[in-house]
Structure 1
Amino acid sequence: MLNIHRLTLLREVHQRGTLAAVARELHYSPSAVSHQLSQLEREAGVPLLETVGRGVRLTEAALRLVARTDEVLTILDTAEAELASSRSGAEGTLRVTSFQSALATILPTALTMLEKRHPGLNVEVYHREVGEAFEGLAAHSYDVVIGDEFPGQPEPVRPGLHREELFADPMLLVLPTTGQWAVPAEELDGLADLADAPWILEPATMPQGRWERTVLREAGVEPRVKCETTDPILRAHMARTGHGVTVIPAMLAGPHLDHTQALAMPGSPHRQLFTAVRDGYTGHPGVRAFRTALGAAARRESPDTPEQL
């Protein structure tokens, strides 16, 4: 009989391309991964891997086996969710991964709600970038991803995952209140008036960074990037201390934007927040409780929309 753990390793090799990458992700040695896959080949009775350069490639038989493994894992997720539903209330461990602005705002509020309503549910939180988060979700390293999507930067459709919309988060233009770029809102006609300003942006490799540069260039601004960071709180602090202009999600309005001038951007663009879980886990009571608490936290923490540029 085929071993489900070894099938999962084969699936990971298909996703990551090398035994070393699988070993790093799962905290094994490469030799241990190789040994397990060799045993799987003996169980299957057909070759499953072929060497290509420094990596490996799955054979046609292995690809068919991976497809069946996805089906099996979905069935096991569903069975686990059904068993959990037979118990009273949400309990056990739920592993959640998210980006920083959610971790700094709505997630702590949701966790406080869950501690009161579902004391038997232990939520573990991991800060991960989007690619690593979704890879971990597919690999069963995490159970829930909190994600975001920017205008013109759609998240890819990922088979086997269930997405549930959370809320729309307006994007704010944030200016300092002291220094050269402390420009009153009434003196700005648009983003083009900030063409010479130093900008504090997300890296261009990130969805928000790509979106920011697209918006600025469409307004005739080729941004002069003074600071590039994925940390929104650092970006806000750089603007607060007069070192440039930035774009911050409204979710972070409040103490993080004290002593700055925050304006709704032209056209009122927003990012869409959502949660994603594996299809078989949608009915898990812990997932349902977490999604409910997160939605309630989002409604509680949603800021008022500032005046528009």
Structure 2
Amino acid sequence: MLNLHRMRLLVELSRRGTIGRVADALSYSASTVSQQLGQLENEAGVPLLEQVGRRVRLTDAGELLVRHAEGILQQVERAQAALAATRSDIVGEVRIATFQTAAMALVPGVLEEMSVRHPDLTLYLTEVQPDSATSALQAGEFDLILGEQYPGGDQPTDTGVDRRMLFDDPMRIYVADRWKPNRDRRELADFADVPWILEPKGKPARDWAETACRAAGFEPRVRFESADLLVLARLAETGHGVTLLPDLVWDGYRPQAQFVSLATKPVRKVYTAVRTGAETRPVLVELRNILVSVSDRRTDTAV
């Protein structure tokens, strides 16, 4: 009999590439993961892994089992969702991963509404960088993620994830009067000579901003970096440079500088994601519906 938990470890290995990364993601030791995968091989009766240098890779049989395991795990999610639907109330625990601006602008309203509708439900919230949230969702660390996708990025096609767009979040230049004399700067290229304030290298927002600047004919001179968008905003409004920020930043934060809307009208897409098979779980359906309602209300009062 194939063990469900060990099959999940095999699926995680196929996604993450190394036993060490699987161990880190699931808070196990590497030796524990290796032992569990060895037991799965004994259960399967065929080699699932082969040694390649210091690493392991899936055999053809291992790849075959991963494909079946993904389907089995989705069926388990559907079974759990169906069982939850037989209850007359929504109780238990739900773990949510989100990014900074969504945590500030959307989550408080969601928590308030859920506490009124379902007082016996416990919500756990963690701020997670969006570029790592999906893998944490797939590993079962979270039940729902609020994610973001910057302009120009391909729509992710992550296996085993049900993703739904929530709203478009416009991106605009944010700049103090010091760098916008006589309001004569209107296009991205007009800020080629200004110091830039961006997220650190490797972040999707940074990749997009640099790509957009290069398309406008210049390489941005990045003077300041921070993953905290409120830090970017504060540095910009105190005149230390120019930045590109999504409008969601301004929910609960009063802007003190100027906006420049670009002709291309770039938007960051905000979405929800759950594991495939869990999308009919009543609490996740309710959370998604409330997120739509909260998002619609904030759109009506956007800056």
TM-score tier (shorter): over 0.9
Query: For 1:6-45, what aligned pairs fall within 5 Å after superposition?
Result: 6-45=6-45
User: What amino acid maps onto 1:183 in structure 2?
Assistant: P
User: What amino acid maps onto 1:99 in structure 2?
Assistant: F
2-structure distance, mates of 1:263, 1:305: 15
Q: 1:255 to 1:240 in 2, by over 3 A?
A: farther
How far did residue 218 of structure 1 move?
Answer: 2.2
1:163 corresponding residue in structure 2? 163
User: What amino acid maps onto 1:145 in structure 2?
Assistant: I
Identity of matched residues, %: 40
1:135 corresponding residue in structure 2? 135
Q: Do structure 1's residue 265 and structure 2's residue 237 form an aligned pair?
A: no
How far did residue 129 of structure 1 move?
Answer: 2.0
1-structure distance, mates of 2:246, 2:131: 20
Q: 1:210 to 1:86 in 2, by over 3 A?
A: same
Residue 183 of structure 1 is aligned with which of 181, 184, 188? 181
Corresponding pairs, count: 303
Q: 1:114 to 1:304 in 2, by over 3 A?
A: closer
User: What amino acid maps onto 1:107 in structure 2?
Assistant: V
Report the TM-score when normalising by structure 1: 0.92
Report the TM-score when normalising by structure 2: 0.93
Q: Do structure 1's residue 103 and structure 2's residue 73 form an aligned pair?
A: no
How far did residue 73 of structure 1 move?
Answer: 0.6
1:60 corresponding residue in structure 2? 60
Q: Do structure 1's residue 227 and structure 2's residue 224 form an aligned pair?
A: yes
1-structure distance, mates of 2:134, 2:219: 32
1:299 corresponding residue in structure 2? 296
Residue 238 of structure 2 is aligned with which of 241, 251, 260? 241
Judge conservation of contact 2:105–2:252 (CA < 8 Å) in 1.
no
How far did residue 221 of structure 1 move?
Answer: 3.1
Computed over aligned residues only, the root mean square deviation of the Cα atoms, in angstroms, reads: 1.8
Q: 1:105 to 1:183 in 2, by over 3 A?
A: farther
Q: 1:136 to 1:305 in 2, by over 3 A?
A: closer
1-structure distance, mates of 2:87, 2:181: 58
Residue 279 of structure 1 is aligned with which of 261, 276, 284? 276
How far did residue 233 of structure 1 move?
Answer: 0.9
Query: For 1:121-132, what aligned pairs fall within 5 Å after superposition?
Result: 121-132=121-132
Unaligned runs of 5+ in 1: none
Q: Do structure 1's residue 148 and structure 2's residue 148 form an aligned pair?
A: yes
How far did residue 254 of structure 1 move?
Answer: 4.7
Query: For 1:44-83, what aligned pairs fall within 5 Å after superposition?
Result: 44-83=44-83
How far did residue 124 of structure 1 move?
Answer: 1.4
2-structure distance, mates of 1:19, 1:150: 31
User: What amino acid maps onto 2:279 in structure 1?
Assistant: T
Judge conservation of contact 1:235–1:246 (CA < 8 Å) in 2.
yes
Q: 1:283 to 1:242 in 2, by over 3 A?
A: same
1-structure distance, mates of 2:188, 2:58: 50
Q: Do structure 1's residue 199 and structure 2's residue 193 form an aligned pair?
A: no
Q: Which moved more, 1:80-89 or 1:20-29?
A: 20-29
How far did residue 281 of structure 1 move?
Answer: 0.5
Q: 1:254 to 1:166 in 2, by over 3 A?
A: closer
How far did residue 155 of structure 1 move?
Answer: 2.9
User: What amino acid maps onto 1:66 in structure 2?
Assistant: V
Q: 1:268 to 1:59 in 2, by over 3 A?
A: same
Judge conservation of contact 1:201–1:209 (CA < 8 Å) in 2.
yes
How far did residue 68 of structure 1 move?
Answer: 1.1
User: What amino acid maps onto 1:298 in structure 2?
Assistant: S
How far did residue 304 of structure 1 move?
Answer: 5.3
Q: Which moved more, 1:165-174 or 1:6-15?
A: 6-15
Secondary structure in 2 matching 1:280: coil
